[in-house]
Chains A and B, each alone.
Chain A
């Protein structure tokens, strides 16, 4: 067993895990933050995307021991003082989700993309969002929601 300290949305979690515990399972089972969803669990779908030191990564493709001392952000960290993050509000406004299973992953992916480059082009946005799978929306409304946050008119 390994003692691991995760800094999750600003809160310090000291957990004890097996080496084989994925970061995804540690976030959900050991830290109790179940907003991050387990989809395919082998790196294809992106439902488990979290920000690791500000960068989107698949939390199912890392072991929790590897994230010791690192800064993690998940969907629970987006809203502040009961006010939704602008991406969350925009997803609602643009009907960018239906079943919602992929949404936490898409929100963290989009947050990472726009924080890294607030001026990213439409082409770069679409390329970036292609990392994750959504089986409900057909993606158009997800793209529209993120474009709106970037201050762009509907295309």
Chain B
């Protein structure tokens, strides 16, 4: 199908972008960055925004900056371009090859994934695992949100209609940190059935899981189990799987989650 008619805006500065967004927000105005979720939703008429504010022409939004141990990923940085120094960069590389396919990764954006808040988003999982923060702007001002305060549930965020994400900030990992990622999907590039991120050897173990619940989350019970000496990865994986809130008791998905967590932990160990 063809998208419904809308009015197109192409601001050149951030100030202009948030001013236009403030004006069109009451008429279902939406931000267009990579468009790899929004445009199909429009083609299927699941989304019928009255206005699109295309931020691809806004100078500076495609930048990745590294300073003070933090990587700052601008709103128009494509999946394929996401990178960082050290173990964080290695973790990003492990994760991004699971995001759809090359032509999608050439257009879709990191911050767009956060704003879209799909339960199966690799970048939402990474952001949750690392307690990322997002810079949000509107014509009313700027605020910085912890990702836990951004993501409400599947495809739901706390962003107001006139707000846009300008950048995401993720703390870099020290060289001693070890990272692991594992994902089960029915086909290469398909949405994850379950995926897990493990970071060991940092300030404390981090273990987060995505796709099975409405939003990714860290698993404190399993992280605590990882603090035991000697570390029992299999036991921690069982603890992680047992902590999941599945819509119904689903032994298959719980087993899949346990295996995914164990493989992510083994990769990081």
**Does B219 have its Cβ within 8 Å of any Cβ on chain A?**
no
- Interface size classification for chain A: 20 to 34
A2 adjacent to B2 (CB under 8 Å): no
Contact A131/B8 with A22-B3, A62-B35 known, Cβ cut-off 8 Å:
no
Chain B contact residues, majority secondary structure? loop
**Does B238 have its Cβ within 8 Å of any Cβ on chain A?**
no
| CB neighbors of A among B96-114 (8 A) | 97, 101-104, 106-107
**Does B40 have its Cβ within 8 Å of any Cβ on chain A?**
yes
Which residue of B4, B35, B187 is within 8 Å of A20 (Cβ)? B4
| CB neighbors of B among A58-83 (8 A) | 58, 60-63, 65-66
Q: How many residues of B contact A (CB 8 A)?
A: 29
Chain B's nearest CB lies how many Å from the CB of A118?
A: 16
**Which of A40-48, A87-95, A141-149 forms part of the interface with chain B?**
A40-48
A127 adjacent to B188 (CB under 8 Å): yes
B103 adjacent to A62 (CB under 8 Å): no
**Does A130 have its Cβ within 8 Å of any Cβ on chain B?**
yes
| CB neighbors of B among A21-55 (8 A) | 22, 25, 41-44, 46, 49, 52, 55
Contact A56/B103 with A20-B5, A25-B2, A42-B44 known, Cβ cut-off 8 Å:
yes
Q: Could you give, for residues 3-34 of chain B, a 1 whenever the CB lies within 8 Å of some chain A CB and a 0 otherwise?
A: 11111101000000000000000000000000
Which residues from A are CB-within-8-Å of B8?
A: 2, 19, 63, 65
**Does B67 have its Cβ within 8 Å of any Cβ on chain A?**
no
Which residue of A41, A43, A113 is within 8 Å of B104 (Cβ)? A43
A61 adjacent to B106 (CB under 8 Å): no
A18 adjacent to B5 (CB under 8 Å): yes
Which residues from B are CB-within-8-Å of A96?
A: none
A56 adjacent to B106 (CB under 8 Å): yes
B102 adjacent to A41 (CB under 8 Å): no
Q: Looking across the interface, which residue of chain A has its beta carbon closest to that of B187?
A: A130
- In Å, the complex CA distance between A55 and B81 comes to 13
Contact A58/B3 with A42-B43, A43-B40, A131-B189 known, Cβ cut-off 8 Å:
no
- In Å, the complex CA distance between A155 and B43 comes to 40
Q: Which residues of A contact B (CB under 8 A)?
A: 2, 18-20, 22, 25, 41-44, 46, 49, 52, 55-58, 60-63, 65-66, 109, 112-113, 127-128, 130-132
